[in-house]
C-alpha cells in the first residue's frame, strides 16, 4: 500500500504554495489587484515588524504600474471614502498624476476633500517619489481651484500643520481669488501686509483673541488658538464644544491643559463618553475606543478612562452577532507586539497587533458566548475566558499571553484532530507562519483547513492579516476570505462573507463595485 502520509487524498486538494513569506516559509502570493486593494484600504506606510515604509512605498508604486489606472483610481476613492485613509489615497492620486492619467481631475475632487488631503497630495508630488518634483500645469490648476472654492472655515482648518503649510501651498500655486475677503486671507496667510477689516469675520475674531483684544474664544479648531492663550476654564469650555469623536481623540490635550481640574469637567466628559445615544450616533466601534483607552495618559482621570470602557461595551451594538459555530484564533506570538499601524517617530500608536487580535476575539465572544477562542503562538495556548467579562478585560487577558514563534496551523490541526464541528473560523495574525513550514506542496495551514473542510464542508475561513503583506497562508477561494489590515468595518465584512454575500478578494470586489 502507498504511504498514506505522502499520498493522502484530502491533502491533495490543497494547492501548492507559490512563494515565500517574509520569514522565508512557504506561502501564497496575492495577485496585483488584491495586493494593491489591501495596501490601499489598510496599508500604513510605516515601519512594521516585517517591512519598512520604503518597501511598502516601492510595492505600491510597482503595483500602480501593473494595474489599470481605472482600478487604481477606484482604489484611491474607496480608501478615502470608505476606509477614511489619508496618506494612501493621496499617494495613489499623485502616482496617477505622474502617469498623466485622464482619471486625475475626477479623482482629485473625490479624494482631496479637505485641506489636510490637499497638503498631503502636494507634499507627495513635490517629494519626487512618483517620478516628478514639480506640480505641473494640471495639478497646479486643481490646487488653485480648491483654494479658490474652499470656505473660510475650510481654509482655517487647512492652515493647521506644516510640511508643507497652507502658506507654502499658496506660494507655490499663486491662486487668483475672485472675492476680496479671499485675497485678503491669502495675503495674511503668507505674511503680507493686509487691512484687518478686509479679512473675513472668523479670521478677524481669531486675530482679536490671539492679540488679547478679545476674551471671546472664537469658534475655530483649538489648534489655532495658541495653547498659551487658553485658561483651564476655557479648555473645559472647549470640551463642551467638541463633538463626541473630537472629545474621544483629545482627552490627553484636555488633561495637559488642566481642563479636568475645573469643577464639573471630569463628570461632564465621562458622562458624555458613556452616553448610549451619543455612542450610537457616532457609530463608533470597539477598536476606536480601545485606541482611545490605550492612548489616554496618566493625567486623564480614572473616571474618564472607565467611561471609555463603558463606551466600548455600548459600541458592541455596532458589531454583528455571528451565527453558527464560531472559532476565533488570535495570534499571540512575539511579532504581534509591534504597533498595529507601524512605527513612526513621534506618532507611534500605543495599540499593538496583539491588542487588536485580542479585541476581535473578545468582541466576537461577547456577542456569541458559545464561540471558542484559541490563542496560538508555537502551539495553542490554553486559556479560559468568561463571556460575561467586559471586552476590555478579556482583551487584556489575551494580550498578556504574548511570545514565541508563529504557527498558524496549530489551532486548525487541533480542531481537525478533534473533528470539531464549526461554521466559521477566524484567524487573526500577521500571516508570517514559519514554525510549521514545509519544503514542498501546500502550506500546513491549508493542509489542516482541508481536513476541517472534510468534516465541515460548508465551513468558511477568514484570515485577518494585521499588517498586510504580499502573502497569505490560505489563498483566496469562495470559502476563504483574506482581509489585509484592520479597521472596524472588518466586523461587517465578516458577517457578509459568512452570509454568502462576499466571496474571496473582498476588497477588490468592493472597489470594483463602486458606482461611477
| Phi and psi based region of residue 172 (left: phi greater than 0; alpha: psi -120 to 50; beta: remaining) | alpha
pLDDT of residue 11: 46
Per the DSSP assignment, residues forming a β-bridge with 483 are 464
Peptide bond into 164 cis (omega under 30): yes
Cβ-contact 419, 449 below 8 angstroms: no
Query: Position of cell 507627495?
Result: 124
Rounded Cα distance between 14 and 124, Å, is 43
Cβ-contact 40, 79 below 8 angstroms: yes
Query: Position of cell 457616532?
Result: 282
Cβ-contact 315, 286 below 8 angstroms: yes
In total, the chain counts a number of residues equal to: 516
Q: Is the dihedral of CA 303, 304, 306, 311 positive or negative?
A: positive
Alpha helices for 19-52 (secondary structure H): 32-42
Rounded Cα distance between 481 and 470, Å, is 15
Backbone angles phi, psi at 32, to 5 degrees: -60, -40
C-alpha of 234 from chain center: 33
Cβ-contact 221, 197 below 8 angstroms: no
As to burial, measured by CB atoms within 10 angstroms (0-12 exposed, 13-18 middle, 19+ buried), residue 95 is buried
Q: What residues contact residue 499 under an 8 Å CB cut-off, 6+ apart?
A: none
pLDDT of residue 213: 87
Cell digits of residue 197? 477689516
Query: Position of cell 502617469?
Result: 99
pLDDT of residue 472: 85
Query: pLDDT by residue for the chain (516 residues), tens digit each?
Result: 444 444 454 444 788 887 787 777 888 887 888 888 877 776 655 444 445 667 778 888 899 999 999 999 999 998 888 777 788 899 999 999 999 999 999 999 999 999 999 999 999 999 999 887 788 899 999 999 999 999 999 999 999 988 899 999 999 999 999 999 999 999 999 999 999 999 999 999 999 988 888 888 888 888 888 666 789 999 999 899 888 998 999 999 999 999 999 999 999 999 999 999 999 888 777 878 888 998 899 999 999 999 999 998 888 877 788 889 999 999 999 888 877 766 556 556 677 888 888 888 888 888 899 999 999 999 999 988 888 888 888 888 888 887 788 899 999 999 999 999 999 999 998 877 888 777 678 899 999 999 999 999 999 999 888 766 678 888 888 899 888 766 656 777 788 788 776 655 566 777 777 766
Q: What residues contact residue 41 under an 8 Å CB cut-off, 6+ apart?
A: 75, 78, 79, 82, 83, 85, 88, 484, 485, 487, 507
Cell digits of residue 448? 489542516
Cβ-contact 419, 331 below 8 angstroms: no
* Nearest CA-CA partner of 390 in 359, 416, 413, 348: 359
Amino acid at each position: 500500500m502507498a504511504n498514506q502520509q505522502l499520498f493522502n487524498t484530502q491533502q491533495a486538494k490543497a494547492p501548492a504554495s507559490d512563494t515565500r513569506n517574509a520569514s522565508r516559509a512557504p506561502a501564497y502570493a496575492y495577485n496585483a489587484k488584491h495586493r494593491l486593494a489591501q495596501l490601499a484600504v489598510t496599508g500604513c506606510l510605516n515601519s512594521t515588524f516585517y517591512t519598512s515604509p520604503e518597501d511598502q512605498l516601492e510595492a505600491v508604486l510597482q503595483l500602480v504600474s501593473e494595474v489599470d489606472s481605472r482600478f487604481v483610481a477606484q482604489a484611491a476613492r474607496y480608501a478615502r471614502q470608505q476606509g477614511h485613509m489619508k496618506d494612501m489615497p493621496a499617494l495613489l492620486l499623485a502616482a496617477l498624476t505622474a502617469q498623466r492619467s485622464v482619471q486625475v481631475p475626477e479623482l482629485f475632487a473625490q479624494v482631496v476633500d479637505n485641506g489636510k488631503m490637499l497638503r498631503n497630495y502636494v507634499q507627495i508630488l513635490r517629494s519626487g517619489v512618483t517620478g516628478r518634483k514639480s506640480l505641473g500645469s494640471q495639478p497646479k490648476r486643481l490646487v488653485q481651484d480648491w483654494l479658490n472654492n474652499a470656505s473660510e472655515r475650510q481654509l482655517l482648518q487647512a492652515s493647521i500643520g506644516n510640511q508643507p503649510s497652507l502658506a507654502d501651498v499658496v506660494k507655490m500655486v499663486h491662486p487668483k481669488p475672485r472675492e476680496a475677503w479671499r485675497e485678503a486671507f491669502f495675503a495674511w496667510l503668507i505674511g503680507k501686509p493686509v487691512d484687518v477689516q478686509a479679512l473675513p469675520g472668523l479670521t478677524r475674531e481669531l486675530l482679536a483673541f490671539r492679540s488679547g483684544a478679545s476674551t471671546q474664544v472664537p469658534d475655530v479648531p483649538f489648534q489655532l488658538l495658541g495653547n498659551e492663550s487658553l485658561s483651564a476654564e476655557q479648555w473645559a469650555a472647549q470640551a463642551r464644544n467638541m463633538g463626541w469623536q473630537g472629545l474621544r481623540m483629545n482627552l490627553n490635550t484636555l488633561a495637559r491643559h488642566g481642563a479636568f481640574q475645573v469643577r464639573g469637567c471630569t463628570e461632564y466628559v465621562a458622562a458624555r463618553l458613556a452616553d448610549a445615544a451619543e455612542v450610537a450616533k457616532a457609530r463608533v466601534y470597539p477598536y476606536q475606543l480601545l485606541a482611545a483607552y490605550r492612548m489616554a495618559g496618566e493625567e486623564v482621570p480614572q473616571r474618564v478612562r472607565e467611561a471609555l470602557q463603558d463606551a466600548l461595551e455600548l459600541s458592541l451594538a455596532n458589531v454583528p452577532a455571528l451565527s453558527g459555530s464560531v472559532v476565533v484564533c488570535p495570534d499571540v506570538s512575539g511579532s504581534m507586539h509591534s504597533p498595529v499601524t507601524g512605527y513612526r517617530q513621534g506618532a507611534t500608536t500605543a495599540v499593538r497587533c496583539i491588542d487588536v487580535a485580542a479585541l476581535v476575539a473578545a468582541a466576537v465572544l461577547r456577542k456569541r458566548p458559545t464561540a471558542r477562542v484559541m490563542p496560538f503562538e508555537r502551539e495553542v495556548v490554553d486559556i479560559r475566558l468568561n463571556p460575561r467579562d467586559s471586552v476590555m478585560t478579556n482583551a487584556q487577558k489575551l494580550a498578556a499571553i504574548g511570545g514565541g514563534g508563529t504557527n498558524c496551523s496549530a489551532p486548525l490541526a487541533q480542531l481537525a484532530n478533534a473533528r470539531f464541528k464549526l461554521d466559521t473560523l477566524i484567524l487573526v495574525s500577521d500571516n508570517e507562519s514559519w514554525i510549521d513550514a514545509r519544503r514542498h506542496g501546500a502550506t500546513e495551514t491549508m493542509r489542516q483547513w482541508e481536513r476541517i473542510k472534510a468534516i465541515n464542508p460548508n465551513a468558511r475561513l477568514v484570515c485577518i492579516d494585521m499588517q498586510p503583506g504580499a502573502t497569505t497562508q490560505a489563498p483566496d477561494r469562495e470559502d476563504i476570505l483574506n482581509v489585509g489590515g484592520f479597521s472596524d468595518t472588518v466586523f461587517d465584512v465578516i458577517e457578509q462573507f459568512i452570509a454568502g454575500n462576499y466571496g474571496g478578494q473582498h476588497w477588490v470586489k468592493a472597489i470594483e463595485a463602486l458606482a461611477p
